[in-house]
Amino acid sequence: MKLLLIPDKFKGSLSSEAFTKAFISGIKESGIPYASHYIKASDGGDGFMNAVASYIPCISMQVISENPLGKLIQSYYLYNQKTNSAYIELANASGMELLLPEQQNPMLTTTYGTGLQIKDAVEKGVEHIYIGLGGSATNDGGIGMARALGYLFLDDKGEKLDTIGSSLQLLKTIDDTAISTDLKKVKFYAVNDVTNPLFGENGAAYVYAKQKGATDVIIEDLDMGLKNLNTIVSKKYNVDHAELPGAGAAGGAAFGLKTFFDAEFLSGIDFILELSGVHKLLARERFDYIITGEGKIDEQTLNGKLLQGIINLGRRYDLPVIAICGKLDISKHVLKQRGIFDVFEIQDESKDLEYNMKHAAVLLATKTADYFSVK
Task: State residue 154's pLDDT score.
Answer: 98
The region of weakest confidence among 34-43, 120-129, 217-226 is 34-43
Kindly report, residue by residue over 285-344, the tens digit of the pLDDT.
Answer: 999 999 999 899 988 777 667 888 899 999 999 999 999 999 999 999 999 999 999 999
Where in the chain do CATH 3.90.1510.10 domains reside?
48-268
Task: State residue 374's pLDDT score.
Answer: 64
Task: State residue 266's pLDDT score.
Answer: 95
pTM of the predicted protein model: 0.91
pLDDT value at 153 more than 70 = yes
Q: What is the DSSP string of 140-209?
A: STTHHHHHHTT-EEE-TTSPBPPSSGGGGGG--EEE-TT--GGGGG-EEEEEE-----SSSTTSHHHHHG
Residue of higher predicted confidence among 182 and 66: 66
3-state class percentages of the chain: helix first, strand second, coil last, to nearest 5: 45, 20, 35
Task: State residue 158's pLDDT score.
Answer: 96
Task: State residue 219's pLDDT score.
Answer: 98
pLDDT value at 103 more than 70 = yes
Where in the chain do CATH 3.40.50.10350 domains reside?
2-38+277-373
Report the topology of domain 2-38+277-373. Rossmann fold (3.40.50)
pLDDT value at 92 more than 80 = yes
Q: Which residues contact 246 (CB under 8 A, 6 or more apart)?
A: 190, 192, 194, 195, 196, 254, 265, 304
Nearest to residue 298, comparing CAs of 198, 197, 211, 191? 211
Phi and psi dihedrals of 325, rounded to 5? -140, 160
Task: State residue 251's pLDDT score.
Answer: 97
Kindly report, residue by residue over 235-249, the tens digit of the pLDDT.
Answer: 999 999 999 999 999
Task: State residue 279's pLDDT score.
Answer: 96
Name the band, by pLDDT with cuts 50, 70 and 90, for residue 43: confident
Nearest to residue 96, comparing CAs of 45, 142, 62? 45
Kindly report, residue by residue over 33-42, the tens digit of the pLDDT.
Answer: 999 999 998 8
Task: State residue 300's pLDDT score.
Answer: 73
Report the mean per-residue pLDDT for the chain.
95
Kindly report, residue by residue over 252-284, the tens digit of the pLDDT.
Answer: 999 999 999 999 999 999 999 999 999 999 999
Secondary structure (3-state) at 325: strand
Name the band, by pLDDT with cuts 50, 70 and 90, for residue 193: confident
CATH number of 48-268: 3.90.1510.10
